[in-house]
A and B are shown apart, each in its own frame.
Chain A
């Protein structure tokens, strides 16, 4: 108990936070899908903040080109699985956090099997197929989703499936269908400033903490866009989109039959 108070002293003493919020964090279960540029800072700050139970999913190994932004990993970790190194680093940071690793490419079956065990899902993936799949599963299974995405010098942040003013929007309310291949650049083609997913990832971790503790107002029904080049932050109000109902799977059976890889190519 003494260690608990010492470790989290700086946030326990925060006005409006206190022991009550800290205990909520220690009971919370958060799943972070993707342990890359966004996932690393999300995981690091959530482990440091004292989240009780942290799921980490990624099927990739560490590459040299990851190191400019994936800050949980070092040169000596090249070739190792991201989830293994992430778990070791997070455990060294805070061994009171229970870390569960999934060294697999996240799929539809895993959404249905594992989402019910978590309070909040964090989308830290790097492709539209995963993003649409995770979004649709969160809608069907009624899970709050903290979304982050980056491109070059810009990032987007949103909280989906959280009711505010009687509505709860999701990604399909913004973009009902995925873009075609020629309509967007991926990170490898377009590049990304290393620190940028750090900025957005830390903001995702902040939204997770706000959702769990009830401190502040989460970014529900809004999307924030950040441009690192000119320090422009724009937050837009979102509304339900009638197109989204037509393009979203309405049952888990239809969800399971949806070919996301095909949909997003």
Chain B
């Protein structure tokens, strides 16, 4: 089963895509590892992760078919 990830702002430049569908690795920590392997540029990026429109900070399980957002801080005005 898979999950969808949307990359916001500069993260889309770093990954080269605005969204991607991947196999569900099961948890936030596992996903972080998979993403950093797949997109090494993410290692030098700051972002928070939202799962199904809720921000998460801990290593929570990821439900099947979840929609995730990787969101960086913006400073421009």
A contact set with B: CB distance below 8 Å: 34, 36-39, 123-128, 131, 148-152, 154-156, 174-175, 178-180, 182-187, 190, 192, 197, 223, 225, 227, 230, 232, 234-239, 241-243
A sample of 15 inter-chain contacts (CB < 8 A) reads A34-B77, A149-B77, A150-B76, A151-B76, A154-B9, A175-B46, A184-B46, A184-B72, A186-B76, A187-B75, A223-B55, A225-B69, A225-B71, A235-B53, A236-B69
Interface of B (DSSP majority class): loop
Minimum CB–CB distance for A112 against chain B, Å: 22
Q: Is the interface of A mostly helix, strand, loop or mixed?
A: mixed
With a CB–CB cut-off of 8 A, which chain B residues contact A148?
77
Contact of B75 with A128 in the complex, beta carbons under 8 Å? yes
Query: Provided the pairs A151-B10, A182-B44, A185-B10 are in contact, do residues A243 and B57 lie with their beta carbons within 8 angstroms?
Result: yes
Residues of B in contact with A, size category: 20 to 34
The answer to whether B74 touches A151 (Cβ under 8 A) is yes
A131 to B77, CA, bound (A): 11
A241→B57 CA distance, assembly (Å): 7
Q: Are A38 and B55 in contact (CB under 8 A)?
A: no
Q: A151-B10, A237-B55, A239-B55 are in contact. Are A190 and B69 (CB under 8 A)?
A: no
What is the chain B residue whose CB lies nearest that of A33?
B77
Q: How far is the CA of A152 from the CA of B74 in the complex (A)?
A: 10
